[in-house]
Structure 1
Amino acid sequence: MNEKRKPKSPDEIDAHIGRQVRMRRKMAGLSQEKLGEQLGVTFQQIQKYEKGANRIAASRLFQIAEVLGSPLSYFLPDNSGNGGEEGFAERQTAFVMDFVSTAEGVELNRSFTHIKSSKVRRRLIELVSEIARDQNNDASQE
């Protein structure tokens, strides 16, 4: 009866809300410690929220939304009526959200939005796309 238990993976909704909290916190330029101070919790608790390891109570999510200056709906998944089935688009969205919530993703987005010329933004997208294609081609030839 002494079976080893497999660590429980976070619920997908908890993980989604955690990713949203992380992304919004980074966009606001707050550290986990600073957000924790404003909420009266430790930075370790913020880490657990962001990983989806600990669920965020509705009242706490409301506090987070207020501190980060976001509507509560920003953190919640879009319930488009797909019956809870995660398809390719949802997995791609999670992948993008994971990247955007990194320091590099936040900096890239922040810098990109400061470029006023739509022509320059379009050329940058084309350049990055070409680099990615070249890297994929190089990797497939190895």
Structure 2
Amino acid sequence: MTKTIPVIPRAAAMDVRPQGLAGAETAIESPPPSVAVGNRSPTSADASVGGRIKELRRAAGRTQKEIADIVGVTGAQFHRYETGATRIATSRLLGIATALGVRPEVLVGTAAPRSETLVDFTDGATDELVELVQVFSTINDPRRRHALMAFARAVARGQPLAAPGAAPAPE
């Protein structure tokens, strides 16, 4: 004898309203879409983090494969991170932030707005150093920050600088 099991649609199976209250509708509060309830499915917050990762990666001129190799995941897995299809473990998020040259809070959107008085130096700091750090902290474009750092490193190494309009110095 074959036993037949009724199939209940998933939506009906999840309906937790009390039965038997004629005409009474019970409001069921659902959590915001950015919160995962009892599962590990990606949320809108994961998609938001992925979007920021993609934006920063593109601004840095890097490919998904390059960052994936640095972080230690496949290119396909990194693509799923960027699209928000897969949640990102904290250790991976830290690796991605390092690979992109940003602080982790930049990726998750919790970076506090920078104020003009963030810099607190001890004795010996010059006004130029304080101003340089304050100006650098206002640069949001990772490519421009990278270019400025490359320039500063070249100056610190004592490489000759070309005058505006002059031919580059031979290397």
What's the TM-score once normalised by structure 2's chain length? Answer: 0.41
Higher gyration radius (CA): 2
Give the structure with the higher percent helix.
1
